[in-house]
């Protein structure tokens, strides 16, 4: 009985120490690069808007789990070696311990993934082509007030939209393209990514993607977009879009918040020129 108890405790310690310390690998990584601009502060939350669930810190949990599991496993091993717990143990006992620890590890990952998948997520439009996105700023008139439809306080952040800019369609397309680029990042489809970004940004992104091995499994759970800057002249239009939401690794079940700003530019001197991402700020 004593031998059985010590074996079970060791299995538990190994399983605790093996808890994965991972993070979801989103498009662009977790650092800022490319062009940056000053943007307007986030708008105050609506009184009727439900409170956002505080983001968890999987890295901290993984650290504590790893430290605690390591200490526990180390203490148990010392007790087993010093106290004679391995006396008369057979090779099959060791194999059984390893097998049970592996099964517990798989069950732990499955439970995390199922909990993450159980959350309800609002649905947004599916992916669109870059040709569709290119035309969205030209569809219809911008039927808001003369200052671009923004009830803004005195600020040095410009909100000067190009004539005929369809803001709702543009933001809807932005959400869709965020998901398209994340999927391209997962699949290591650099040619697709190149359609949406400047040359400088592409060089940085392709270098980052080469540092990741194989396909990634990051899924955008839900996403919102907000225009936080806009300006234009005769030859160039610039906008900045703030994204907020949540994403997860569908294999590991790890979830993280989306909080970033994309800066985009369009060459107005070129017919049918696309909007290109020229900077990402985390």
For 230-277, how does the pLDDT look when each residue is reduced to its tens digit (9 = 90+)?
Answer: 999 999 999 999 999 999 999 988 999 999 999 999 999 999 999 999
The answer to whether residue 35 sits within a structural domain is no
Number of domains within the chain: 2
How sure is the predictor about 102, in pLDDT bands with cuts at 50, 70 and 90?
confident
Q: At what angle do helices 2-17 and 91-117 cross, to 10 degrees?
A: 40
pLDDT value at residue 164: 86
How sure is the predictor about 71, in pLDDT bands with cuts at 50, 70 and 90?
very low
Separation between Cα atoms, residue 90 and residue 87, nearest integer Å: 9
pLDDT value at residue 226: 96
Size (the chain), residues: 282
111 and 185 belong to one structural domain: no
Q: At what angle do helices 2-17 and 58-83 cross, to 10 degrees?
A: 150
pLDDT top residue among 184 and 46: 184
- What 8-state DSSP symbol labels residue 276? E
92 and 169 belong to one structural domain: no
Which sign, positive or negative, has the C-alpha torsion 83, 87, 90, 93? Answer: negative
Give 103-145 pLDDT, tens digit per residue. Answer: 777 766 666 655 544 444 433 333 445 554 544 444 433 323 3
Environment class of 107 (CB within 10 Å of its CB; exposed 0-12, middle 13-18, buried 19+): exposed
- What 8-state DSSP symbol labels residue 119? S
Provide the CATH number for the domain around residue 151: 3.10.450
Give 170-190 pLDDT, tens digit per residue. Answer: 999 999 999 999 999 999 999
104 and 135 belong to one structural domain: no
Q: Provide the CB-side half-sphere exposure for 217 (13 A, CA).
A: 10
226 and 92 belong to one structural domain: no
Nearest to 9 by CA among 72, 78, 65, 71: 72
Q: Is 202 helix (H, G, I), strand (E, B) or coil?
A: helix
Q: In what order do the strands lie in the sheet with 255-267?
A: 33-34, 276-281, 255-267, 236-249, 218-232
Nearest to 157 by CA among 265, 231, 226, 225: 231
Give, in order, the Cα–Cα distances in Å from 66 to each of 70, 92, 97, 252.
Answer: 6, 27, 19, 16
Q: Over the chain, what is the mean pLDDT?
A: 72
- Domain interval for residue 8: 2-23+56-117
What is the percent of the chain where pLDDT is above 70?
Answer: 54
136 and 220 belong to one structural domain: yes
136 and 64 belong to one structural domain: no
- State the CB neighbour count (10 A cutoff) for residue 218: 20
Separation between Cα atoms, residue 23 and residue 54, nearest integer Å: 17
Stretch (H or E) spanning 114: helix 91-117
92 and 227 belong to one structural domain: no
264 and 156 belong to one structural domain: yes
Query: Is residue 84 within 8 Å of 2, Cβ to Cβ?
Result: no
Q: Is 237 helix (H, G, I), strand (E, B) or coil?
A: strand
Stretch (H or E) spanning 264: strand 255-267
Separation between Cα atoms, residue 270 and residue 257, nearest integer Å: 37
pLDDT value at residue 187: 95
Kindly tell me if the per-residue pLDDT of 76 is higher than 70.
no
89 and 112 belong to one structural domain: yes
């Amino acid at each position: 009985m004593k031998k059985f108890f010590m074996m079970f405790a060791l299995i538990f310690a190994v399983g605790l120490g093996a808890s994965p310390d991972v993070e979801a690998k989103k498009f662009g990584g977790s650092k800022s690069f490319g062009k940056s601009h000053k943007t307007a502060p986030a708008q105050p939350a609506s009184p009727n808007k439900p409170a956002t669930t505080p983001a968890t810190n999987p890295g901290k949990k993984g650290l504590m789990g790893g430290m605690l599991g390591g200490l526990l496993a180390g203490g148990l091993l010392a007790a087993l070696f010093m106290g004679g717990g391995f006396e008369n143990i057979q090779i099959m006992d060791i194999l059984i311990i390893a097998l049970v620890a592996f099964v517990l590890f798989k069950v732990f990952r499955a439970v995390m993934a199922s909990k993450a998948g159980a959350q309800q997520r609002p649905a947004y439009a599916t992916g669109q082509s870059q040709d569709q996105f290119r035309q969205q700023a030209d569809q219809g008139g911008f039927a808001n007030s003369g200052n671009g439809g923004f009830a803004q306080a005195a600020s040095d952040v410009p909100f000067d939209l190009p004539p005929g800019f369809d803001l709702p369609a543009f933001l809807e397309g932005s959400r869709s393209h965020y998901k398209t680029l994340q999927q391209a990042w997962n699949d290591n489809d650099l040619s697709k990514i190149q359609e949406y970004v400047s040359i400088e940004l592409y060089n940085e992104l392709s270098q980052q993607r080469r540092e990741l091995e194989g396909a990634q499994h990051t899924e955008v759970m839900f996403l919102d977009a907000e225009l936080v800057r806009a300006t234009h002249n005769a030859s160039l239009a610039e906008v900045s879009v703030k994204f907020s939401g949540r994403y997860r690794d569908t294999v590991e079940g790890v979830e993280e918040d989306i909080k970033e700003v994309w800066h985009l530019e369009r060459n107005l001197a070129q017919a049918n020129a696309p909007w290109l991402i020229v900077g990402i700020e985390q």
